[in-house]
């Protein structure tokens, strides 16, 4: 407005006139900035890596190409699980990852992704954007020189693939299961022997019987690995991941050096890509699950006894960690306080509607 | 990139040089554009209208103030329910509304908001962004000169306030209920007598007994109207609104006249504000419900018999409308096909996790 009226007063045509007066504003607000993004994922997990690509596309489009970010799959610039360090020390300006990959550095980081018997995807969004989640996770990652943004969610994951049925808690004793982090900690208290095995070795290990079970993501991603052929029992729910939030990490110096409009683009584009990720999983999991079942997968719910034992084991771990780790306690208390407040409400309108729809559609199927 | 290398070749400093060569690009890509937005909501529904305000704020921030949109509450520029016409004829460039308000013009519009026994909020996002929802709703609104964007959701709504208990379908006969649109159509088949009453008259009508029931939104919005004092039975779920999607309408000519980066901003800012709306409802409904119950509301689930009768009545209406309205049939078949595909999957990981959490937290409460 101001620029326009100035031009009018000066009696210049808008086009020619702007060349003389507007360029410094342009140079300040729309500088050419070109970043790299590293990821913990590759094209073998197309929904996850696709969301990083969508983020970059939206930033570029909305800035008219002046701010571009090029996404690199895990391992190309830095190792897949080295995103936190690479962004923190500005090897790359930003990265896509899941904070619970850094469990070994601090289990408190898991509250930015998933913890056993935690929030579902909607509740997680609510804690992040309307509870204290955003504030507390920002504080948590500040010493790592990271500004974090939620960028998607898988929804509730599956409980994994098992060679034998899990009828009781006793069936977990000695079970060699590929799992890690917080889930591994809780499962080990229930007798499971967590195994760290690189992705390519999982299938042969299950085939040979040196591995009894594996947890991965959900139908869309699990289908590609063919587990149904060697470990047919497909359990649900993945109680250690009622949702799994994916994060965008931006180096703090790089972020604070951006003009405000570009900062707003990062905020919006990360939410945009995040919405797309969950929408994609929700749209494509149903058919993937049907194909898995047609291919021999036997769908099973964890018995109530197993769920209850896991719930108790998880909450014992929470108490232990909270007692010795003040950051963990701070995150835990906010996150679990939010959970205990929101879950009863979700049983009312939302849960009763979902349950009725599930029942009525099943009963009306031929 | 191109501009940079040109500058290098020309041997000019980036700052001084850009003044000479970059301004036309600036004038084209960052023009000063100032729009008005009308809304169907006012500050009396702060989560809904707040989301319109957030949308405008994000667009302005990300454009460095060059593209601004000023939100006006319902009734200030045009009537609250006149958004479709006002945007279509470019009285205002854009508007926030819910498409089911235009049920009387075509019941097919409801598929952009909510229909009885339809999708929940996550499923709706999935149909819109990864199913055919976006494509089909765009086609549907094109003759109205509207480009639509999803911009939030309330989640599953409550079933409303009743002066007497609803024990059987027979209890609905002759019930004078404030409701409209698709819900009114289905409820009238079950014996309800739908009433159109302006908001300010609802409370006195319930008090005098000239009205027996009212459906509104959910705890956050219902609480303000004080219905619990005159119609204490608070039923769930609002089976006619498993979710209610709010829409941004943009006039087509105005939209297509925008530079591409501004179009991308509208896309991203509408999703951004939409995420915030649902997060806000989810965060604040629990406490609002507790206050309502403390204030005398008696929380009740609709009996299974009532739900089943409503399900049948709704699907009879779908069959009737589909037979005589090809647009309705097209929308219905895509939407319901998506529902029938996605709901069984939601019972598996997602539903079993949610149900377990609801049960275990209730059982561990003192």
pLDDT tens digits for B284-330?
A: 999 999 999 999 999 999 999 999 999 999 999 999 999 999 999 99
* A75 and A182 housed in the same domain: no
Whole-structure pTM value: 0.92
Within a domain: B13: no
Q: Looking at the domain assignment, is residue A177 inside a domain?
A: yes
- Which chain B positions have a beta carbon within 8 Å of A283's beta carbon? 126-127, 130-131, 338, 342
B203 and A CB contact within 8 Å: no
Cβ pair B227, B214 in contact under 8 A: yes
- Read off the pLDDT of each residue in B215-225 and give the average, rounded to a whole number: 93
Mark yes or no for CB contact B125/A278 under 8 Å.
yes
Does the interface predicted TM-score (ipTM) exceed 0.90? yes
For residue A23, tell me if it sits in a domain.
no
Interface contact B354-A351, CB threshold 8 A: yes
* Same domain flag for B254 and B110: yes
Q: Tell which of B236, B345, B363 to mutate to test the A interface (max A CBs under 10 Å).
A: B345
Q: A16 φ, ψ to 5°?
A: -70, -40
HEC string for chain B: CHHHHHHHHHCCCHHHHHHHHCHHHHHHHCCCEEEEEEECCCCCCHHHHHHHHHHHHHHHHHCCCCEEEEEECCCCCCCCCCHHHHHHCCCCCEEEECHHHHCCCCHHHHHHCCCCCCCCHHHHHHHHHHCCHHHHHHHHHHHHCEEEEEEEECCCCCCEEECCCCCCHHHHCCCEEECCHHHHHHHHHCCCEEECCCHHHHHHHHHHCCCCEECCCCHHHHHCCCHHHCCCEEEECCCCCCCCEEEEEEEHHHHHCCCHHHHHHHHHHHHHHHHHHHHHHHHHHHHHHHHHHHCCCEEEECCHHHHHHHHHHHHHHHHHHHHHCHHHHHHHHHHHHHHHHHHHHHHHHHHHHHHHHHHHHHHCCC
Which residues of A fall within a CB distance of 8 Å from B278? 122, 125-126
How open is the CA angle B347-B135-B36, to the nearest 5 degrees? Answer: 110
Residue range B2-25, pLDDT digits in tens:
333 333 333 333 333 333 333 344
Average pLDDT over residues A238-257: 98
B356 near A CB under 8 A:
yes
Q: Which of B62, B118, B123 to mutate to test the interface with A (most CBs of A within 10 A)?
A: B62
| Same structural domain, A109 and A252 | yes
Q: Does A269 touch chain B (CB under 8 A)?
A: yes
Same domain, residue pair A170 and A230: yes
Based on the domain organization, do A146 and A178 belong to the same domain? no
By the CB < 8 Å criterion, does B20 face chain A? yes
User: How many independent structural domains does chain B possess?
Assistant: 2
Cα–Cα distance for residue pair B146/A366, rounded to 1 Å: 40
The answer to whether residue B239 neighbours chain A at the CB level (below 8 Å) is: yes
Nearest by CB to A343, from B260, B349, B357: name it: B357
- Domain CATH for A257: 3.40.190.170
Look at residue B3 in the predicted model and tell me its pLDDT.
36
CA of A254 vs chain B CAs: smallest distance (Å)? 17
B189 shares a domain with B227: yes
Structure confidence at residue B48 (pLDDT) = 97
Distance from CA of B120 to the nearest CA of A (A): 7
High-pLDDT (> 70) share of chain B, %: 92
Q: Are residues A229 and A204 in the same domain?
A: yes
B6 in reach of chain A (CB within 8 A): no
Contact of A261 with chain B, judged by CB distance below 8 Å, is answered with yes
A262/A313 same-domain check: no
Q: pLDDT digit string (tens) for A30-61?
A: 899 999 999 999 999 999 999 999 999 999 99
- pLDDT band of residue A196 (cuts 50, 70, 90) is confident
Per-residue model confidence (pLDDT) at position A17: 34
Predicted confidence at residue B153, as pLDDT, reads 98
The answer on pLDDT for B26 being more than 50 is no
B92-105 mean pLDDT:
97
- Whether residue A341 and residue B287 make contact (CB cut-off 8 A), yes or no, is yes
Which of A128, A264, A276, A352 has the most B C-beta neighbours within 10 Å, making it the best mutation to test the interface with B? Answer: A264
Calculate how close chain A gets to B126, using CA atoms only, in Å.
Answer: 4
pLDDT attached to residue A30: 86
Kindly report, residue by residue over A304-347, the tens digit of the pLDDT. 999 999 999 999 999 999 999 999 999 999 999 999 999 999 99
Query: How many angstroms separate the CA atoms of B240 and B263, rounded?
Result: 33
Least confident piece of the model among A88-102, A227-241, A266-280, B15-29: B15-29
Percent of chain B with pLDDT over 90: 87
Domain that holds residue B220: 160-242+296-342
Same domain, B237 and B315: yes
Give a yes or no: residue B351 inside a domain: no
pLDDT average, residue stretch A260-280: 98
From chain B, pick out residues whose CB is under 8 angstroms from the CB of A57.
none
pLDDT tens digit sequence for A96-139: 999 999 999 999 999 999 999 999 999 999 999 999 999 999 99
DSSP type of residue A93 = S
Residues of B in contact with A287 (CB under 8 A): 341
pLDDT over threshold 70, residue A14: no
- Is residue A6 scored above 70 in pLDDT? no
Instruction: Check CB contact of B238 with chain A, cutoff 8 Å.
Output: yes
In this prediction, residue B28 has a pLDDT band, given cuts at 50, 70 and 90, of low
Q: Which residues of B touch A128 (CB under 8 A)?
A: 279
Residues A38, A80 within the same domain: yes
| B258 near A CB under 8 A | no
Round to whole Å and give the CA distance between B129 and B150: 9
Angle between helices A326-364 and A304-324 (to 10 degrees): 160
Residues 36-55 of B with CB under 8 A from A: none
How confident is the model over A275-288, as a mean pLDDT? 98
Residues of A in contact with B285 (CB under 8 A): 345
Tell me if A347 is assigned to some domain: no
CA distance B116 to B107: 12
Domain contains A353: no
Q: Which residues of B36-48 are buried (b: 16+ CB within 10 A; e: fewer)?
A: bbbbbbeeebbbb
Say yes or no: B266 and B311 in one domain. Answer: no
Please state the rounded mean pLDDT for residues B68-79: 97
B117 in reach of chain A (CB within 8 A): yes
Question: Would you call A16 an interface residue with chain B, using a CB distance cutoff of 8 Å?
Answer: no
In a shared domain, residues B235 and B254:
no
Per residue in B171-202, pLDDT tens? Answer: 999 999 999 899 999 999 999 999 988 778 88
Task: Tell whether B83 is covered by a domain.
Answer: yes
CATH of the domain at B316: 3.40.190.10
- Nearest-10 crossing angle of helices B326-363, B133-141: 130
Which of A261, A274, A286 is facing B342, going by the closest CB pair? A286
Nearest residue of B to residue A309, measured between CA atoms: B360
Which chain B residues in 172-201 lie under 8 Å from chain A, judged by CB atoms?
none
Pick from A15, A61, A299: CB nearest B260:
A61
pLDDT of residue B257 exceeding 50, the answer is: yes
CB contact, 8 Å: B319 with chain A?
Answer: no
pLDDT of amino acid A99:
97
Q: How much of chain A exceeds pLDDT 90, in percent?
A: 87
Confidence of residue B30 (pLDDT cuts 50, 70, 90): confident
Say if A14 falls within a structural domain: no
Quick one: pLDDT at residue A241? 97
């Amino acid at each position: 407005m101001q620029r326009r009226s100035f031009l009018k007063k000066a009696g210049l045509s808008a086009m020619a006139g702007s060349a003389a007066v507007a360029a410094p504003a342009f140079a300040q607000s729309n500088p050419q900035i070109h970043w790299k993004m590293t990821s913990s994922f590759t094209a073998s997990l197309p929904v996850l890596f696709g969301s990083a690509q969508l983020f970059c596309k939206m930033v570029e489009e909305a800035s008219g190409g002046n701010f571009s970010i090029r996404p690199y799959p895990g391992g190309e610039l830095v190792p897949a699980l080295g995103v936190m360090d690479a962004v923190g020390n500005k090897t790359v300006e930003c990265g896509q990852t899941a904070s619970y990959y850094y469990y070994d550095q601090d289990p408190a980081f898991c509250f930015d992704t998933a913890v056993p018997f935690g929030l579902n995807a909607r509740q997680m969004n609510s804690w992040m954007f309307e509870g204290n989640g955003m504030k507390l996770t920002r504080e948590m990652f500040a010493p790592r020189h990271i500004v974090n943004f939620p960028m998607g969610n898988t929804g509730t994951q599956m409980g994994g693939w098992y060679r034998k049925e899990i009828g009781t808690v006793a069936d977990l004793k000695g079970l060699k299961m590929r799992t890690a982090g917080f889930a591994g900690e809780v499962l080990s208290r229930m007798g499971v022997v967590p195994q760290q095995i690189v992705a390519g070795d999982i299938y042969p290990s299950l085939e040979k019987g040196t591995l009894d079970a594996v947890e991965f993501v959900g139908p869309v991603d699990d289908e590609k690995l063919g587990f149904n052929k060697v470990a047919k029992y497909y359990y649900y729910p993945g109680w250690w991941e009622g949702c799994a939030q994916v994060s965008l990490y931006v180096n703090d110096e790089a972020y604070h050096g951006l003009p405000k409009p570009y900062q707003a683009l990062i905020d919006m584009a990360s939410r945009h890509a995040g919405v797309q990720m969950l929408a994609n999983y929700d749209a494509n999991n149903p058919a993937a699950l049907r194909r898995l079942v047609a291919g021999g997968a036997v769908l099973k719910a964890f018995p109530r006894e197993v769920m209850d034992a896991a719930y108790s084991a998880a909450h014992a771990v929470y108490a232990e960690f909270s007692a010795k780790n003040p950051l963990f306690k701070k995150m835990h208390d906010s996150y679990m306080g939010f959970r205990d407040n929101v879950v009863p409400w979700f049983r009312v309108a939302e849960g009763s509607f979902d349950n009725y729809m599930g029942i009525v559609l099943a009963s009306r199927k031929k």
